[in-house]
Amino acid sequence: MAKKLFIKTHGCQMNEYDSARMQDLLGESHGFEKTDNEEEADLILLNTCSIREKAQEKVFHQLGRWKKLKDKNPNLKIGVGGCVASQEGEKIIKRAPQVDLVFGPQTIHRVPKLYQNIAIEHEENVDITFPKTEKFEHLPEQKNEGPTAFVSIMEGCNKYCSFCVVPHTRGHEVSRPIDDILQEIESLSIMGAKEINLLGQNVNSYRDSKLKTKGLGLSNLIRAASKIYGIERLQFTTSHPFEFGQDLIDVYEDVPELISYVHLPVQSGSNEILKKMRRRHTRDEYFELIDKLKAAREGISISSDFIVGFPGETEKDFLDTLDLVDKVGHDESFSFIYSPRPNTTAKDLEDDVPMEEKKIRLSELQHKLENSAYSISRKMVGQVRKCLVTGISKKNPGEFQARTENNKVVIFSCSDSSKIGKIIDIEIMEAKNKSLRGIAI
């Protein structure tokens, strides 16, 4: 009987992507089959996140629960990967001896070997190194079914924003060669993908690693990907306002496959705080960029991440953030209370904002962001929009789910499952909190 693999993923889309690759990899190397039931697993992998302290705490709670499974089934093996693994390395096994192997985001391709090593005494069972592009060269072809797919185009980040653990856990920027990426998109298209999301921590630093081109990296890639037969939509996650050049703005004008949506985290609306965060741009530079994007693509939705309660954030700084949201009119966004992280420079700054105040600011900002996103949705009611049918509705299996060209989810009734993967016209009938309701035309 085939061995069963259960993977639990915390955190970002990069982790989701890596987890799917690990499933493919262990299927190929050891014949592992996927299971959604941890009780029947022979190997459990936890792909962790350390972006905020809360995410990291979840890891040891989870490992504690799995210890009981291992007590019942001594043959069960447990592995820990992702950013907490990268940060803590062997300390994970010291603290949780039920763990058999530890690997980082850049060594997922070595998991089959590490798994083999468990049986052999004194063989390596921890590998959290950062071996350049090796990872991508050793991953099997992505098996994706369905109309949407993720393609990782680069790893790591060199920006060292003062609050962020990513450069420390995922390592420095390494881009994949453009030919490899285009080939992967082509094969995904043959498998039925219509929309590709180009993934990386900081995709506008993408450089074709073979050509070593400075500049024009991501925009070139988008232009080339848009010409691949069958690819009807493209998007990218995540970009940084710094290094968002004119070439990238121009693709919004020239490449209709690029959707009318950009996730462009700004974190704060205060120049003082932006400087302390080492974000390398001012509030006005962000506004300039947004104006250019709005001019290049009518109706583009701007999404962002925000951090409140950064050390030294005054009431005035926070009001600047609220004001920035008013001026930009963000679509659905993410906001967090600042969490000090290991190895970052911000962790040594004096944090003088009381937690109670941080919570009040977060809830005020979230309220504003929800209203802002909802007002975009409301304006869409009565319009007919081009939507990519992505599948069956998660909440109500009797209905279908689609996405508008500005990336809003639309739920609609339909009896024809052959519509999945097609771009169809949907009249928007109602704006709900997180989605729209529509009727297929």
- Asked if residue 159 binds ligand F3S (CB under 6 A), the reply is yes
Give the range of 87-95, 142-150, 163-171, 189-197 binding ligand F3S by CB under 6 A.
163-171
Q: Which of 166, 225, 307, 411 binds ligand F3S (CB under 6 A)?
A: 166
Q: Which is nearer to ligand SAH, 231 or 362 (CB)?
A: 362
Q: How far is the CB of 95 from ligand SAH (least distance, A)?
A: 22
x/- map, 313-342, ligand SAH, by CB under 6 A = -----------------------x-xx-x-
Q: Which of 4, 52, 223, 361 binds ligand SAH (CB under 6 A)?
A: 52
- Asked if residue 202 binds ligand SAH (CB under 6 A), the reply is yes
Q: Residue 167's binding partner, choosing from ligand SAH, ligand F3S, none, with beta-carbon cut-off 5 to 8 A by kind?
A: ligand F3S
Q: Residue 12's binding partner, choosing from ligand SAH, ligand F3S, none, with beta-carbon cut-off 5 to 8 A by kind?
A: ligand SAH
Q: How far is the CB of 248 from ligand SAH (least distance, A)?
A: 15
Q: Which is nearer to ligand F3S, 104 or 167 (CB)?
A: 167
Amino acid at 130: F
Q: Which of 5, 7, 12, 423 binds ligand SAH (CB under 6 A)?
A: 12
Q: Which is nearer to ligand F3S, 25 or 166 (CB)?
A: 166
Give the range of 158-166, 281-289, 326-334, 387-395 binding ligand F3S by CB under 6 A.
158-166
Q: Residue 252's binding partner, choosing from ligand SAH, ligand F3S, none, with beta-carbon cut-off 5 to 8 A by kind?
A: none
- Asked if residue 307 binds ligand SAH (CB under 6 A), the reply is yes
Q: Which residues bind ligand SAH (CB under 6 A)?
A: 12, 51-52, 163-164, 166, 201-202, 238, 265, 267, 305, 307, 336, 338-339, 341
Q: Which residues bind ligand F3S (CB under 6 A)?
A: 157, 159-161, 164, 166-167, 201-202, 240
